[in-house]
Amino acid sequence: MNEWLTLAWSQRSELASATLVHLSLVLESIVLAILIGVPLGVLATRRKSAERFVLGLANIFQTIPSLALLGFLLILFGGTIGKLPALTALVVYALLPIIKNTILGIQGLDPNVAEAAVGLGMTPWQRLTLVELPLAVPVLLGGIRIATVSAVGMATIAASIGAGGLGTYIFRGVSLSDPRLILLGAIPAAGLALLCDSLIGLAERRLDPTKGSGSRRNRWVIGALVIALFALVLGENLSSRTGPGKIVIGSKDGTEMILIGQMLAELVEARTDLKVDRKFNLGGSLVCYNALKDGGLDAYVEYTGTALAAILKEPPQNDPKAVYDRVKAECERRDGVAVLDPLGFENTFAIVMRAKQARDLGLKKISDLQRHQGRLRTGFGPEFMSRADGYDGLMKAYGLSFTERPRELDRNLLYQAVAQETLDVAAGDSTDGRIASLDLVVLDDDRHYFPPYEALVFANLASLNRHPALREALSLLSGKIDADKMRLLNYEVDGKRREPAEVAHEFLLLNKFLE
C-alpha cells in the first residue's frame, strides 16, 4: 500500500490532469445525451409508434460491445483518434436510460394534472415546459444518474483510442503487467463514479418540486456547482487544444513502444521549438497508422514486417532490405507517410515457454513442439491470429496441429498466462523484458519463418514539411539502439517496475542526446 501511495504522490499532477480529462469526457457526453435523449423521450410519449422505434433503436445501441463500437467509429471517422470517437461512443451508451426515464417521468404524471393544464388554456408547449418536464425532473435525473455513472466506467476504455483520462493508467498497467498503475486509474475512476452518483442523487432529491420551498433554496447551490464543473471542463478543453507549435507523438501498446515514444517526444522538445502531446498505448498498428496518415498523429514507431503484412497487406518476405525499401516507397506514395531509417534493432515474433517446462521436455526449437503438440496449451494475440505472417502460416511452416484451439488474449496478458501455467506456449516479442523477468525462454525459429521486423519511425510527411527541424529530431535515434540495449531498457520497466519516462530520459542522458 505504501508503494502505491508513493507512486500516486509522484504522479499527482499527471493524475489530476487525467482525472480532469476523464470528467470532461463524462460531462460533455452527458450534456449531449440529454440534448438528444430528452427530446426523443418527449416525442416517444406523443406517439406509440415513435416510442417503439426510439426505445428499440436505443436498446440496439446499448447491446453493441464497447470495443466493437469504438472500432466502428474509428472507421466511420476515417481513422481519427482521440476525443471525437470517444465522445460519440459515450453519448450512444448514455441515451437509453435518459430516453427511458424521460418517458417514464412524463407518462407517470397524474392525469388530473394534465387535465388541469388544459383547463387553464395552456398550449402543448406550455404544458410540456411548465408542467410535465418540471414534475418529471426526479425520474429524469434518475436516468441521468445511471447514464453518468456508466459513462465514468465507459470513459476508461476510451483511452485505448487516445482520448486520455484515467484509462491511460489502466491500459499502461496492463501493458506493463503493473497492478499499481491499474489501481492508479481504477481507484480514482471508482471515486469519481461515487461522487457523481452522490451529487446527482442530491440534486434529484433537492429539485423535486413536490417538496416545496425547501428545494428552491438549494437550486442556487446546485446551479453554482454545475457552473463550476463546466468551467473546469472548459479550462481543460482550452488547455488541451493542439496549437500551431504542437505535434502529437503516439505509440502502440507495450513497454517498448512507450519507451521509444517517450524518447522521441523528449528529443523533439529538446531539439525544436515544438511542444509534444503524448498519446501512448493506442492499441494495434492500424489504429496508429490510420491516425498518422489522416493527421491525428505526427509520428509513431512501427516494424517493417508488420507494416508489410498488416498495413500494405502484402505477403511476407525474408530480405530485410527489400522489405524496408518496399515499405518506405509504398507508404510514402500511397498515404503520405515518411519512413525514416531503422533504429538499429529487430523485434520479431518469439514463441515463448516457461524455461523449466522447456528444459523438462527438451524443447529448444519451434520444430520440437511437434513431439508434444497434443498436450500443450497455446495462446496468441488477436493480431497474430489474423495476420498472414501469424498463426496459420506458422502451423503450415512447422507442420503443427495443436489438439486444443489456441486461446486469444491481449498480447500483454500472454506472458503472465504462461508464467502462471495457464498457458504453455505463446507468441511474444523477442526484445520484451518480461521474458527475462518471468523466467521464460524463446524457442529458436529454426525454419526462419518470421520475416524481418526492424523498428523505425513513421511520420506524417506533411508535418515534416511544415516543421523542417522535426525530421532531424525524429532521426536522432536511427541506428543507435541495438537489440541488447532495447532488451535491457524493457527489463528496467518490466522487471524493475520503473517508469518508462524515467528510463527513457536516463537513456538519452547517458548517450549524450540530452544535456
What are the C-alpha distances in Å from 167 to residues 302, 312, 506? 23, 31, 26
pLDDT more than 70, % of the chain? 90
For residue 235, what pLDDT band results from cuts at 50, 70 and 90? low
Measured in Å, how far apart are the chain's first and last C-alpha atoms? 36
Residue 515 forms part of a structural domain: no
Contact predicate 355/462, CB 8 Å:
no
Average pLDDT, the chain: 85
Shared domain check, 101 and 87: yes
| Whole-number Å distance between alpha carbons of 172 and 179 | 10
Number of compact structural domains in the chain: 3
- Beta bridge partners, 378, equal 425
Whether 317 and 457 share a structural domain: yes
DSSP for 389-401, please give it: TSHHHHHHHHT--
Tell me whether strands 454-460 and 337-346 are parallel, antiparallel or unpaired: antiparallel
Final residue belonging to a domain, choices 240, 269, 298? 240
Distances (CA, A) of 173 to 118, 193, 383, 435, 489: 60, 20, 20, 17, 17
Looking at residue 464, its pLDDT comes to 93
User: Do both 313 and 461 map to the same domain?
Assistant: yes
Most confident range (mean pLDDT) of 147-161, 273-287, 321-335 is 321-335
Give the model's pLDDT for residue 213: 46
**Residue 272 DSSP one-character state:** S
pLDDT band, very low/low/confident/very high, at 214 (cuts 50, 70, 90): very low
Do 277 and 374 lie in a common domain? no
* Amino acid 230: pLDDT: 61
Question: Which spans in 64-157 are helix H?
Answer: 66-76, 83-107, 111-119, 124-126, 133-154
415: pLDDT strictly greater than 80: yes
34 lies in the same domain as 166 = yes
Longest dimension (CA), the chain: 91
- Give the residue from 240, 256, 279 where a domain finishes: 240
For range 385-406, the mean pLDDT: 87
Same domain, 98 and 26: yes
The pLDDT of residue 16: 84
pLDDT band at 130 (very low <50, low <70, confident <90, very high): confident
Residue 210: predicted pLDDT = 61
- In this structure, of 13-17, 128-132, 219-223, the range with the lowest mean pLDDT score is 219-223
State whether 403 and 481 are in the same domain: no
Q: Which H or E element spans position 428?
A: strand 425-429
448 located within any domain: no
Per-residue model confidence (pLDDT) at position 228: 64
Alpha carbon distances (Å) from 460 to 96, 292, 314: 40, 6, 22
**Assigned domain for 490 exists:** yes
The CATH number of the domain holding residue 209 is 1.10.3720.10
Could you tell me if 80 and 292 are in contact, meaning their C-beta atoms sit under 8 angstroms apart? no
Q: Which residue has the higher pLDDT, 343 or 12?
A: 343
Same domain, 69 and 108: yes
Q: CB within 8 A of 121, min separation 6: which ones?
A: none
Residue 382 pLDDT: 83
User: Of 404, 419, 443, at which residue does a domain stop?
Assistant: 443
Phi, psi of 346 (to 5 degrees): -115, 135
Mean of the pLDDT values across residues 448-452?
A: 88
Q: Bigger pLDDT: 367 or 296?
A: 367
When pLDDT is averaged across residues 316-329 and rounded to a whole number, the result is: 92
Question: Are 312 and 401 in a shared domain?
Answer: no
The reply to whether 201 falls in a domain is yes
Residue pLDDT, tens place only, 81-98 = 778 888 899 999 999 999
Residue 337 has pLDDT above 50, yes or no: yes
Range of the domain at 285: 246-347+453-510
Q: All 3 cell numbers of residue 66?
A: 464497447
pTM score? 0.73
pLDDT mean over 154-161? 83
CATH number for the domain spanning 377: value is: 3.40.190.120
- Do 218 and 275 belong together in one domain? no
